[in-house]
Amino acid sequence: MLGQSGRPRLTRAGVCAILVGAAVALMAPAWAETPSEAAASDVRILIDISGSMRDTDPQNRRTPAINLLIDAIPGDATAGIWSFGRYVNLLVPHDPVNAQWRAQARTRVAELRAIAQRTNLGAALDDAAYDFGFSTYSPPTDVILITDGQVDIAPNSDVNRVERDRILDTVIPRFAAAGARIHTLALGSAADAGLLEQMANQTGGVFAEVQQPSEMQSFIIRVLNSVRPGNELPFDGREFRVDAQVTELTALVMHDDGQVELRQPNGTLNSVSSPGSQRWQAGQGYTLISIDTPPAGRWEVLGDINDDSSIQVVSDVNLYWTQPSGSVVLQDQPLILELGVADASGDVVPDALINVMTPTLRINGSQVDGLRWDGRQLRAQVPNTYADADIQLEVTLDGGTFQRQIRKTVVNRPALLSELLVTDAGIQWRLYPADRGLMFEQVSLQAMIEGPVTQNQGFQTHASGYFYMNLPADLPEGDYRLTLTGDADVNERRVSQFGVAPIDLSLPLPADWPRILNPEAMPAEPTMMPEPEPEADFVKEPMPEFEELSVQTPVSIDQPDAEPVSEPLPQSDPTPWLRYLLLSVPGLLILLAFFLVYRRLDRRSKGETEDLLAEDRGLADVGMNELNDLELSADLDDPSLDSGVGDGRDGQADEQDAPVVDDVFEDDVPEPSPPERTEAPRVSMEDSLDTRALDEDVWGELDSEPDPLDDLDAGDDDDLFDISNLEDGLSDLENLNLDEDDPFSDDNDDPPSR
């Protein structure tokens, strides 16, 4: 049955066949791809808790489906659960799966409430990919994304479109390069099915679009079947037979109500209340039973059992798929099927055993001829005459004393998927490859535009792998049809029919036209996709305050009309201090570097100041030394000086005593040596300075006041700086006439009188 978008719609009746052998696919051992090469499971679950989920899933039907996934994850796996809305919250740590992890996961999932304000798909995927660059990371990884909305991180639609393109151009290729498969569930018609389908197709995951929350459990089982397709025992809904080669058995019994019982070959009855040595886990609508080394013989299941129950086993004979490798097959292209057979160690089974195993192929429940042994491989090529919907593949091996069965669900899609984006800048037509394994070469694609104006416009290739063209902005108003023409080499085969339906639209587009459309099923009148709740004018959101980090009281499930208080913000990481320490180390190093530079500059400035002070002190020392070296008393007591002065007053110069130029510039007269640098006298040195000779011989007449240094002990600090006595001495010196002894005077014989 097709949904409104033209994609296959899963219903409870339509997916029953998927459940057979799929529910416990994750519990199969390492032989998912081959028995010896596959690694332990790594499952990461992303759950949308935006406010719209209250309307999409009012009965919280997603909880039983997620609980089935929690129970089906094998014990040697690693798993984590994130919830997201406006922010991303690590709900259950990404740790090894054990009983404690399962109990915590069940509790936290049961407490989930749809109280978030937006849908930040990109941030959720980024957080789930936190370790893709770690040396400890190893593929494969399976990410299961459940949402009912579109990319919604801001009121501005252009901001959301840019974020959506970032997911397509950057996030999805990162997952594909890391070997991580994204399995996406679009719940309801408002979900961005085009984006979610590309997440699954480009990473080899499973995509499903469901309209009722009750169908979510079918999606979970289909995901498990894709992640770890295990071998099963044929089960008719009542009994199954166990052979001696079976070492482990896991039974998934689907039922609506009532208790389930399991009767062993010896007649012993086991149930959830009396499991014995078996492991029983009962959930809403299912019972999971695990048995180690089950006895060979006929087993019987008692109770109101649905037809989609399955019995999965681990044994020495195991089938595994090699083709198709992904979850998509190309419409109108032959179905190529390949399978291998190996024992529990991954080695090929002996030829003698292969010769006695008869293969049988069923597609959508009908037996199809063509599956044959080709050496030690099973191969078949079947014409693809099936509709654009899911295809159920089932292969059974009958060895006489044992039987093995394996299933796989694929989606039949055209080579290119079409999408129309309406933005403020115009209309863009995009074509996405239906599978990441498709290699497009020699591409020549054009859009034929028919209407009031007819023209052709070529498609361009985007760096991330899709093709696009922008509708001309100057097209006149009217009705138009867009048709894809051209051809390309797809996996070295020339293809001209891509299965892309024409697009009919009228210009100008209505203001309420949806922003993202699936042109393959575009209705005559577009079905409106709910817009985000109206908000006030866009204002840049501030950084979250600490108050927002507190856990809010969840809204009770029996109060659907209660208004949410706020959205839970991300909880602390299990080891936050190590993360904070690593983030703070660069800042501390920068602060330390600035401190060291500051100290160095500070010391340098202090050193320069001390050098300047020392230089000033040195100049003062030189001046004091020159003053101390003056022999003032000898000059004043010189008789020639007195004689010269007296003669000068009478106008008679003594020619013998007068100096001549030659005497002044005699070559043999040595130049006086520069004064010796000595330390300036300090107060503490006053006892070593004897100035009485100066006082008596030179300054006796000039200094009538006592030596200030003598009064230091008396504490008269003012006299120390009294220079009045110096002024009296200098006044006497002003009367001296030294010019008459100047040999450079203009008129030495007649010096001017003062």
Rounded Cα–Cα distance for residues 711 and 727 (Å): 21
On whether the CB atoms of residues 480 and 450 are closer than 8 A, the answer is yes
| HEC readout, 645-689 | HHHHHHCCCCCCCCCCHHHHCCCCCCCCCCCCCCCCCCHHHHHHC
* Least confidently predicted of 268-277, 351-360, 377-386, 526-535: 526-535
DSSP string, 300-317: EEESSB-TT-EEEEEES-
- How much is the pTM? 0.64
Q: Is the peptide bond before 324 cis (omega within 30 degrees of 0)?
A: yes
Predicted pLDDT at 11: 40
Find all residues with CB under 8 Å of 331, minimum gap 6, and list them. Answer: 384, 388, 412, 413, 414, 415, 499
Which two structure tokens, joined as six digits, stand for 727? 């002024």
**Residue 350, beta-bridge partner list:** none
Rounded Cα–Cα distance for residues 533 and 50 (Å): 12
Predicted pLDDT at 675: 52
Domains of the chain: 42-227 (3.40.50.410), 231-314 (2.60.120), 423-521 (2.60.40), 630-741 (no CATH)
Angstrom CA distances, 556 to 110, 146, 237, 258, stand at: 11, 22, 39, 28
Indicate the pairing of strand 180-187 with strand 286-292. Answer: unpaired
DSSP string, 487-530: EEEETTEEE----PPPEEEEESPPTT--SEE-GGG--SSPPPPP
pLDDT tens track for 676-730: 554 555 544 544 444 444 444 444 444 444 554 444 444 444 444 455 555 555 5
Angstrom CA distances, 528 to 159, 197, 440, stand at: 21, 20, 34
Tell me the residue length of the chain: 754
- Judged against a pLDDT cut of 50, whether residue 550 lies above it is answered with no
pLDDT tens track for 141-171: 999 999 998 999 999 888 999 999 999 999 9
pLDDT tens track for 437-447: 888 999 999 99
pLDDT band at residue 491, thresholds of 50, 70 and 90?
A: confident
Q: Is 346 left (phi over 0), alpha (psi -120 to 50) or beta?
A: left
Q: Which residues of 333-371 are buried (b: 16+ CB within 10 A; e: fewer)?
A: bebebebbbbbbebeebeeeebeebebebbbeeeebeeb
What single letter denotes the amino acid at residue 641?
L
- Judged against a pLDDT cut of 80, whether residue 338 lies above it is answered with yes
